[in-house]
Amino acid sequence: MDIEHLAMLAKLNLSDEEKALFAKQVGSVIDYIGKLNELDTSQVEPTAHVLPIKNVFREDNIQDSLPRDKAMHNAPRKDENYYRVPKVIE
Amino acid sequence: MELYHLSIEEARRVLDNGELSPVELANSLLDRIGALDDEICSYITVTKEKALEQARDAEKALKEGVRHPLLGIPLAIKDNICTKDIRTTCSSLILENFVPPYDSTAAKKLGEQGYVLTGKTNLDEFAMGSSTENAAFGRTKNPWDKARVPGGSSGGSAAAVASSQCLAALGSDTGGSIRQPAAFCGVVGLKPTYGRVSRYGLVAFASSLDQIGPITRSVRDSAIVMNAISGNDRNDSTSAEVDVPDFSSALGHDIKGMKFGIPREYFREGLDRGVEDAVAAAIKQLESLGAHPVEISLPHTEYAVAAYYILATSEASSNLARYDGVKYGLRVDGEDLSEMYRKTRESGFGAEVKRRIILGTYALSSGYYDAYYKKAQQVRTLVVQDFNKAFEDVDLIVTPTTPAPAFKAGDKTDDPLQMYLTDIFTISLNLAGVPGISIPCGFTSQDLPVGLQIIGKHFDEATVLKAAYAYEQATEWHKRKPEI
Give the whole-angstrom CA distance, residue B286 versus residue B276.
Answer: 15
Predicted pLDDT at B215: 98
Q: Do A56 and B340 touch (CB under 8 A)?
A: no
d(CA B205, CA B188): 23
Active-site residue, selected from the candidate residues B21, B92, B130, B153: B153
Please list every residue in chain B whose beta carbon sits closer than 8 Å to the beta carbon of residue A33. 306, 309-310, 372
Closest Cα in chain B, distance from residue A87 (Å):
7
CB pairs under 8 A between A and B: 159
Contact across the interface for B354 and A75, Cβ inside 8 Å: no
**pLDDT(A90) > 80:** no
pLDDT value for A57: 87
- Residue range A27-42, pLDDT digits in tens: 999 999 999 999 999 9
CB contact under 8 A, A11 and B338: yes
In CATH, what number does B3-257 get? 3.90.1300.10
Amino acid letter, residue B442:
G
Residue B87 is predicted with a pLDDT of 98
HEC readout, chain B: CCHHHCCHHHHHHHHHCCCCCHHHHHHHHHHHHHHHHHHHCCEEEECHHHHHHHHHHHHHHHHCCCCCCCCCCEEEEECCECECCECCCCCCHHHCCCCCCCCCHHHHHHHHCCCEEEEEECCCHHHCCCCCCCCCCCCCCECCECCECCCCCCHHHHHHHHCCCCCEEEEECCCCCCHHHHHHHCCEEEECCCCCECCCCECCCCCCCCCEEEEECCHHHHHHHHHHHECCECCECCCCCCCCCCHHHHCCCCCCCCEEEEEHHHCCCCCCHHHHHHHHHHHHHHHHCCCEEEEECCCCHHHHHHHHHHHHHHHHHHHHHHCCCCCCCCCCCCCCHHHHHHHHHHHHCCHHHHHHHHHHHHHHCCCCCHHHHHHHHHHHHHHHHHHHHHCCCCCEEEEECCCCCCCECCCCCCCHHHHHHHHCCCHHHHHHCCCEEEEEEEECCCCCEEEEEEECCCCCHHHHHHHHHHHHHCCCHHHCCCCC
The alpha carbon dihedral of B164, B44, B76, B139 has a sign of: negative
Kindly determine whether residue A71 and residue B101, on different chains, have CB atoms separated by under 8 Å: yes
Contact A18 B342 (CB under 8 A): no
Q: Is A62 on the interface with B (CB under 8 A)?
A: no
Q: Quick one: pLDDT at residue A56?
A: 83
Q: Given this model, what pLDDT does residue A58 score?
A: 84
Residue of A nearest to B316 (CA): A10
A interface mutation test: which of B362, B366, B372 has the most A CBs within 10 A?
A: B362
- Of the listed B7, B78, B104, B131, which one is catalytic? B78
Task: Note if B163 is an active site residue.
Answer: no
- Write down the pTM of the prediction: 0.98
> Which among A6, A7, A46 has CB closest to B374?
A46
Cβ-defined contact of A33 to B310 (cutoff 8 Å): yes
Q: Using the 8-state DSSP alphabet, how is residue A36 labeled? A: G
* Inter-chain CB proximity A11 and B333 less than 8 Å: no
Contacts of A3 in chain B (CB under 8 A): 358
Task: Check if A27 contacts B (Cβ < 8 Å).
Answer: no
Nearest to B234 among A37, A58, A77 (CB): A58
- In this prediction, residue A88 has a pLDDT band, given cuts at 50, 70 and 90, of confident
Is there a contact between B354 and A22 if contact means CB atoms under 8 Å apart? yes
Q: Flag if A76 and B376 touch (Cβ within 8 Å).
A: no
Q: Which of B98, B300, B376 sits opposite A74 (nearest CB)?
A: B98
**Mean pLDDT score of chain B:** 97
Q: Look at the domain A3-36 and name its fold.
A: Histone, subunit A (1.10.20)
Residues of B with Cβ-Cβ distance to A58 under 8 angstroms? 234
Interface ipTM > 0.90: yes
- Among residues B242, B186, B217, which one has the least CA distance to residue B435? B242
B78 is an active site residue: yes
* Residue tagged active-site, from B177, B222, B230, B239: B177
To the nearest whole angstrom, how far is the Cα of B271 from the nearest Cα of chain A? 20
- Å from B18 to nearest chain A CA? 39
**Distance from A16 to chain B by nearest Cα, in Å?**
13
Does the structure show a pLDDT above 80 at A60? Answer: yes
Query: CB-based contact (8 Å) between A20 and chain B?
Result: no
Query: Which pLDDT does position A55 carry in this prediction?
Result: 84
Dist. CA B262–CA B267, nearest whole Å: 9
pLDDT of residue B79: 98
What is the three-class DSSP state of A61? Answer: coil
> Is B366 one of the annotated active-site residues of the chain?
no
Mutate to test the interface with A, among B102, B338, B378, B423 (most CBs of A within 10 A): B378
Provide mean pLDDT across the span A18-33. Answer: 95
pLDDT-derived band at A53, boundaries 50, 70, 90: confident
A82 close to B (CB below 8 A): no
For an interface test with B, the pick among A8, A9, A29 (most B C-beta atoms closer than 10 Å) comes out as: A29
Going from N- to C-terminal start, the domains of chain A cover: 3-36
What's the DSSP call for residue A74? T
pLDDT per residue as tens, chain B (484 positions): 899 999 999 999 999 999 999 999 999 999 999 999 999 999 999 999 999 999 999 999 999 999 999 999 999 999 999 999 999 999 999 999 999 999 999 999 999 999 999 999 999 999 999 999 999 999 999 999 999 999 999 999 999 999 999 999 999 999 999 999 999 999 999 999 999 999 999 999 999 999 999 999 999 999 999 999 999 999 999 999 999 999 999 999 999 999 999 999 999 878 999 999 999 999 999 999 999 999 999 999 999 999 999 999 999 999 999 999 999 999 999 999 999 999 999 999 999 999 999 999 999 998 999 999 999 999 999 999 999 999 999 999 999 999 999 999 999 999 999 999 999 999 999 999 999 999 999 999 999 999 999 999 999 999 999 999 999 999 999 999 999 8
